[in-house]
Amino acid sequence: ALTAAFAGMAVMMALAGVAAMFILGLIIIALLPTFTDRTIRGMQKNPWGSFGLAIVTVIILPILGISAMVTVIGIPIGVFLFMMLGLLCAIGHIYAALYIGHGVFGAFKSDVHRAWQLLAGLIILGIFTLIPILGWLARSIFVLIGTGAVLFEKQSTYRQMRAKHLV
């Protein structure tokens, strides 16, 4: 009976996580439609470059965060770096889901709203998680590709704004 309760609780937590990611994804789609389109195109053009950048970021940010936390003054900086890493990976997860959903609907030559692509991608990423070891590995790779693509597009957007003297 206790095992069933834990299983039910795990399912509810998973559904709540998917719902939260879906809502955050809808907000991102609504607020940043051009950024979203360009990020997905970047993931299609250079997935392994995005993966590499994300790997470097995921390794460097914790090292910098721990190094900063050695001093009392650096504790807020370290906490900030860890929070940014978590936020960046969450956003990377959303873009990974959009990328997968875009691929699924693109295979059927179907032009659907990004919200449906996001939902399909989140469900597929959730199904990946159910496969022992390989599922987690595949999901991690997709999330890292999304994270790296967000970083590349952020840099590109910054350069464009800099060229127009907006920053």
Q: At 92, is the pLDDT very low, low, confident or very high (cuts 50, 70, 90)? A: very high
pLDDT at 1: 67
Instruction: Quick: pLDDT tens for 98-150.
Output: 999 999 998 887 788 999 999 999 999 988 888 888 988 999 999 999 999 99
Instruction: Quick: pLDDT tens for 33-76.
Output: 999 999 999 999 999 999 999 999 999 999 999 999 998 899 99
Using the predicted structure, report yes or no on whether residue 167 has a pLDDT greater than 80: no
pLDDT at 52: 95
pLDDT at 8: 81
Q: Which two tokens stand for residue 157?
A: 């957007």
